[in-house]
Amino acid sequence: MQTIFRGKDLITLEDWSLEEIETLLEVSYELKRDFAMDRPTVYLPNKTVFLMFFEQSTRTRNSMEAGITQLGGHAHFLDTSKMQIAHGEVAKDTAIILSRMGHAIACRNCFWKQGNAYLRELAKWATVPVINMQDDLFHPLQAIADLMTIQEKKGRNTRNLKVSVIWAYATTHKKPISVPVSQVLLFPRFGIDVTLAYPEGYDLPDWVIEKARDNARKHGGSLRITHDQEEAYRDADVVFPKNWGSWVTNESTEVVDSLLEANRGWKCTVERMALTSQGSLYMHALPADRQNEVEDAVIDGPHSAIYDEAENRLHTAKAVMALTMGGR
Ligand code: CP
């Protein structure tokens, strides 16, 4: 078990070894048990984490804020439109100054071709850990909570579990690709057989597919791609039907276009869930576009694990902060 984390950035789980991720899961389980028993977990007394948000959030903001409080520290919520960033202050200056005043910088910046570069620039100059709360490419805090939830429901040994990451129709906003990217990269490292299903035009970057296949080769999982959603539901143990934007093929920020409208039929329905294996899970990072991405009968039905998945955002966020801001 890897035990040395203090000062480590979490930009993507690709930068963390399998042993480090296993420790992160162990600590998450321990913190969840402590939470259930109302046992104090004051691992970060008087420590400050800065939470910089370029976009909206419910789960990420609150898991980080509640999490640091439960660890004995404090969060500053920073709406970047109210920071001097809005007047052009550069990431270098922000990173150095916040490093002088606190103990970690967490940031969400999902702007296409900007977010990850911004996080990397913060990390280059910060002298405290930088935690990615979602960018245009990665959402490590979501992917680790997803994996924890799968393990809780399906067993710690996930080898040869069938997990499908499936595109779904939604109109709320042009969503980042960071959730499916993080899932298809992480799950094969735990021996999972991943099916990625999407209509043509909603491709993930080629380098993601190559890296996911490399991860699968090294760790015994697999990745198959299909453009047939029924194929992705058939015999799946876990399904993640979720919208993402066509950023790779079309950089426009327009939400609704002809490609999207041509794929209204990509929806998680009771009929499609009937194709999955006995006791299968329906999961979603949330927020869900109810009635477009998924029928209420599914998201509120017996397969749904969405609230446990969301709660695990708290326990995994606490583990990331406890290890990188404290630990050894
Ligand atoms: N899943 C997720 O990151 O939720 P929020 O956008 O509400 O933080």
| pTM listed for this prediction | 0.98
Sign of torsion, CA 252 258 204 245?
positive
pLDDT for 2: 87
User: What's the gap in Å between 285 CA and the centre of ligand 1?
Assistant: 7
Same domain, 155 and 302: yes
pLDDT at 196 over 90: yes
Is the CB–ligand 1 distance for residue 132 below 6 Å?
no
- Supply the mean pLDDT for the chain: 98
Ligand 1, closest atom to CA 141? 3
Q: Confidence band (pLDDT; 50, 70, 90) for 204? A: very high
Q: Confidence band (pLDDT; 50, 70, 90) for 305? A: very high
Measured from the Cβ of residue 212, the count of other Cβ atoms closer than 10 Å reads 25
Is the CB–ligand 1 distance for residue 97 below 6 Å?
no
Same domain, 267 and 210: yes
Q: What is the CATH number of the domain that holds 278?
A: 3.40.50.1370
Question: How many distinct structural domains can be found in the chain?
Answer: 2
Same domain, 43 and 99: yes
User: What's the gap in Å between 283 CA and the centre of ligand 1?
Assistant: 14
Ligand 1, closest atom to CA 60? 8
Same domain, 66 and 150: no
Same domain, 125 and 269: no
